[in-house]
Structure 1
Amino acid sequence: MKNVLVTGGSGKAGRAVCRDLVAHGYDVLNVDVQPSADPVCPFYKVDLADLGQVMDAMQWTGGKDHPFRKFRSPDAVVHFAAVPAPDLVPEEVAFRNNVTSTYNVFDAAIRAGVKRVVWASSETTLGLPLSPQNPPAYAPIDEDHPMRPESAYALSKDLGEEMARQMQRWNPETSFIGLRLSNVMEPKDYARFAGWQDDPHVREWNLWGYIDARDCAQAVRKALEVDFSGADHFIIANADTVMNADSAELMRRIFPDVPLRKSLSGTETLLSIDKARRVLGYEPEHSWRPGK
């Protein structure tokens, strides 16, 4: 696969994805409603709520004099455009935007003959925000954990996973890989982590998880390149938590009644990435901890 269309390439995770793919030799088109603050590839302004515009983007050529004029149509699509979190806009707006845009991107990709779609699902589908009053069923949370969307945003991602399963069933030659991303962080965000150490309740809502944007980008690239068929989803988090306290101690203090399904070592993640490691070959390379 050479040509990759990335929706939402101007967002925090999308910028990292575009940067990583370009660095690894891909021709990338950023499809978004506004240009990227870190422009590393061509930009095409598209309203993803309009299926006609999305289908047009799948045939983007850049004009006869554009250096990327041979892009023509994508070999793969990375769908990251969305209202990116709960509570940013009214619930109905988040739901309508995310469900409609996801359907349009999936449908247009299939119509354009795209065989691989990698897209951003979310950790929120697993019951976030977690708390002692709304604990996880077990920890570390893995892909078998019950789906418990608690917001319109999370529900939109849950339904996106179902759309991927059914549209892949209708089109067996395609493959859809959903990445249940943890809270995306750039290196500049790590200065905030020190302020969370004295109160573990501050970040209990996602079991103290995060994903470095650069490792998010790595997961996308691995998902594009892996030998895979069907439709499936993977938790994508970093290998550690945002805390200095050991993970087992955090669970004893905040979620004492939640069963642990494995022995925990140090600050290892409570959002299991075992499946992503096994199937995608994903392995986090970055951490907020100095020297790592």
Structure 2
Amino acid sequence: MIIGVTGSSGKLGRATVERLTAEGHEVIGFDLVGSAGAGFTRVDLGDYGQTLDALFGVTARHEGLDALVHLAAIPVNGLVPDVTTFHTNVTATFNVLHAAHRVGIDNVVFASSITAMGFPFDEAPPQLPVDETYTSASNTYGLGKVAEEAIAAQLARWGSSAYTALRFTNVVAEGEYDTFARAADPGYRRDLIGSWVDARDGARAVALALADPVPGFRVYNVASPTSGTADPSRAVAARWFPGTPVASDLGEYESLMSTRKIQAELGFVAEHDWR
């Protein structure tokens, strides 16, 4: 396929471009920054005209896309004022999703987040592991992700396109594994309910979603199926969320951010583990 990837210069974006290229796809990167070349076009996704035109076609780059991956965003709260995080991210996502609808791109995968489901989990979730049925934003980044999922769910009703939201947790690059030296710390990754995902596995989830487009809207958690903490998951759950119901079949080191759905429906298997 010819696949557009927004945010192609980011941590997850780079891994996704590499993965899709290795699978034989032609990848066109869209971002504000990046290396000039045949596979990259500089686009301000906050500008609907630029976004629409870039998806229609770019001279010397592409004449139409078969699929689109939207990863571009201000990645966390705190880099800019809170309201700017919300306005920037939601506007860019609306522009991308609506432009894709106008152009007729019927296979769209986009990044949602663990922030849409309770991060930093000051309020205990209703059950563990936390699955895709739970939505609870606690900051403007998460609120934006909830809004973006809602936009995609409604756009899916306007035609027969496939919209897949991937709720990524903390993405760890290949060279960032030294952070797991703290894995035995009782408070390590508490705000992430112990979850994490290698960037290369995040890219694998994107590729799996693209390869299995289902008309309509769907959402999947994307995390390593095993936790980023040294202690067994049931002990961690009891320490962080006393009294919260825990699945009777929870694996010894199973992630408290459930990946059961993406494993069952898309065949997701992590290829990297900090252990």
TM-score, normalised to structure 2, is 0.96
CA drift of 1:41 comes to: 6.2
Shift of 1:40: 8.8
Q: State the Cα RMSD in Å.
A: 1.5
Equivalent pairs, count: 275
Structure 1 stretches of 5 or more lacking a match?
A: 64-68
In structure 2, relative to structure 1, the CA distance for the partners of 1:109 and 1:91 (3 Å cut) is: same
Contact 1:29 1:42 in 2 (8 A): yes
3-state DSSP class of the match of 2:189?
A: helix
Is residue 2:178 matched to residue 1:191? yes
* TM-fit CA distance, 1:206: 1.4
Q: Secondary structure at the match of 2:165?
A: strand
The AA in structure 1 aligned to 2:129 is P
Any idea what the Cα deviations from partners look like across 1:175-222, whole Å, max 9, x if unmatched? 10000001000121111111242x222311111000110111010011
Q: d(CA) in 2 for partners of 1:239 and 1:47?
A: 35
- Alignment match, 1:34: 33
- Cα distance change of structure 1 residues 237 and 46 upon mapping to structure 2, 3 Å threshold: same
**1:182 maps to which residue?**
169
| 1:31–1:46 contact (8 Å) kept in structure 2 | yes
Tell me the CA shift for residue 168 of structure 1.
0.9
- Picking from 142, 145, 166, the partner of 1:154 is 142
Residue 133 of structure 2 corresponds to residue 136 of structure 1: no
Deviation at 1:126?
A: 0.8
- Alignment of structure 1 residues 1-292 onto 2, 5 Å: 2-35=1-34, 42-63=39-60, 69=61, 71-131=62-122, 134-145=123-134, 147-171=135-159, 173-197=160-184, 199-289=185-275
Q: Distance in 2 between matches of 1:41 and 1:120?
A: 25
SS in 2 for 1:209: coil
Listed one character per residue, the Cα deviations across residues 24-44 of structure 1 (whole Å, up to 9, x for unaligned) are 0000011000005xx896111
**Secondary structure in structure 2 of the residue aligned to 1:234:** strand
Q: In the TM superposition, what is the alpha-carbon distance from 1:287 to its structure 2 partner?
A: 0.8
Contact 2:183 2:230 in 1 (8 A): no
Distance in 2 (CA, whole Å) between partners of 1:130 and 1:41 is 43
Bigger mean CA offset, 96-105 vs 39-48: 39-48
Distance 1:246 1:40 in 2: 47
2: CA distance between counterparts of 1:116 and 1:262? Answer: 37
8 Å contact kept, 1:28–1:41: no
AA partner of residue 157 (structure 2): R
CA 1:56–1:136 in 2, change beyond 3 Å: closer, same or farther? same
Unpaired runs of 5+ residues, structure 2, are none
Deviation, structure 1 residue 88:
2.0
Matched residues in 1 for 2:86 and 2:3: separation?
26
| Shift, 1:5, TM fit | 0.4
